[in-house]
């Protein structure tokens, strides 16, 4: 991503030209009911405030003031997030906002075999695994040297074809991000729904994404959290890294 700039800004003249020639504003107004239904449905399936509260309880040093979620039926799986900070020079108060881009509810609504609770849990994962990078990544940076040593033998942790995550820190963060989601699901859904979603997440990471040791990592983090009820997830980093060190061969 060297030299990356704001692509939308660079292409703004073309975007404006398209909007004018396609009469987009008239089209949008005439289909506003459709967009409103899409938004309402996503609000049904995304307990964002609940996720937000849970993450800030588990990472008490990290606080965010605002979330903005932009969704589109056209985005596929290209989800992303960004965090922004500003500080008031007079009061020295900091304002933090997280912006993310995700798919629409159609991703799971198209599957008639899923229950409403399963759809909610799975759709929550789209947002959860974007939001929690803003909590996981800064905490990981505190253990950067140890993570880099343990995850040096990358092929034992991830597929060489997983080009998006080609350094020890990013691989570990993906393990933590998706394992935290499983932990949240286990604590907030009934056992049958939770088992179904966790099994899907483990299959996704091991068999589709090539994070070979995710199952063991995931079960260990859940065990550590259960056996240390007074500890926050941020407190468990040394313990989960100890497990990783023992399983890095």
The average confidence (pLDDT) of the chain is 90
- pLDDT-based confidence at 76, cuts 50/70/90? confident
Compare 5 and 135 and report the one with higher pLDDT.
135
Average pLDDT, integer, range 182-188: 96
Q: Structure tokens of 217?
A: 């990592």
Average pLDDT, integer, range 148-167: 74
Contact 95, 86 (CB under 8 A): yes
pLDDT score recorded for residue 249: 67
Measure the CA–CA gap between 43 and 91, rounded to whole angstroms. Answer: 35
Contact 177, 129 (CB under 8 A): yes
Average pLDDT, integer, range 1-6: 61
Q: What is the pTM of this model?
A: 0.86
Measure the CA–CA gap between 45 and 194, rounded to whole angstroms. Answer: 15
Is 90 exceeded by the pLDDT of residue 80? no
Q: Name the residue with tokens 């909007």.
A: 19
- pLDDT-based confidence at 60, cuts 50/70/90? very high
- pLDDT-based confidence at 1, cuts 50/70/90? very low
Would you call 87 exposed, middle or buried from its count of C-beta atoms within 10 A (0-12, 13-18, 19+)?
A: exposed
Compare 78 and 226 and report the one with higher pLDDT.
226
Measure the CA–CA gap between 71 and 104, rounded to whole angstroms. Answer: 6
CA-angle at 160, arms to 155 and 162, nearest 5°: 120
Is 60 exceeded by the pLDDT of residue 221? yes
Backbone angles phi, psi at 99, to 5 degrees: -115, 135
Tens digits of per-residue pLDDT, 136-154? 999 999 999 999 988 876 5
Contact 115, 192 (CB under 8 A): no
Is 90 exceeded by the pLDDT of residue 160? no
Measure the CA–CA gap between 181 and 215, rounded to whole angstroms. Answer: 13
Closest CA to 62 of 30, 94, 39, 91: 94
Closest CA to 69 of 24, 119, 127, 141: 127
Contact 108, 101 (CB under 8 A): no
Is 80 exceeded by the pLDDT of residue 7? no
pLDDT score recorded for residue 98: 87
Contact 220, 227 (CB under 8 A): no
pLDDT score recorded for residue 131: 87
């Amino acid at each position: 991503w060297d030299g990356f700039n704001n692509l939308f800004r660079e292409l703004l003249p073309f975007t404006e030209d398209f909007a004018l020639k396609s009469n987009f504003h008239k089209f949008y107004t005439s289909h506003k009911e459709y967009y409103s239904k899409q938004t309402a449905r996503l609000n049904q399936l995304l307990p964002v405030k609940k996720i937000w509260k849970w993450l800030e309880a588990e990472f008490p040093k990290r606080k965010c003031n605002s979330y903005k979620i932009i969704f589109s039926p056209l985005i596929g799986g290209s989800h992303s997030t960004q965090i922004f900070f500003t500080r008031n020079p007079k009061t020295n108060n900091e304002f933090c906002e997280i912006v993310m881009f995700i798919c629409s509810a159609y991703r799971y609504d198209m599957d008639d075999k899923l229950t409403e609770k399963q759809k909610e849990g799975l759709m929550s994962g789209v947002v959860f695994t974007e939001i929690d990078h803003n909590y996981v990544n800064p905490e990981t940076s505190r253990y950067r040297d140890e993570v880099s040593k343990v995850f040096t033998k990358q092929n034992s942790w991830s597929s060489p074809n997983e080009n998006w995550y080609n350094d020890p820190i990013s691989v570990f963060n993906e393990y933590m991000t998706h394992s935290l989601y499983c932990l949240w699901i286990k604590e907030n859904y009934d056992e049958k729904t939770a088992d179904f979603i966790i099994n899907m997440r483990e299959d996704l990471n091991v068999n589709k994404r090539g994070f070979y040791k995710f199952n063991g990592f995931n079960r260990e983090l859940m065990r550590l959290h259960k056996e240390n009820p007074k500890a926050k997830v941020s407190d468990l980093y040394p313990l989960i890294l100890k497990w990783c060190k023992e399983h890095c061969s």
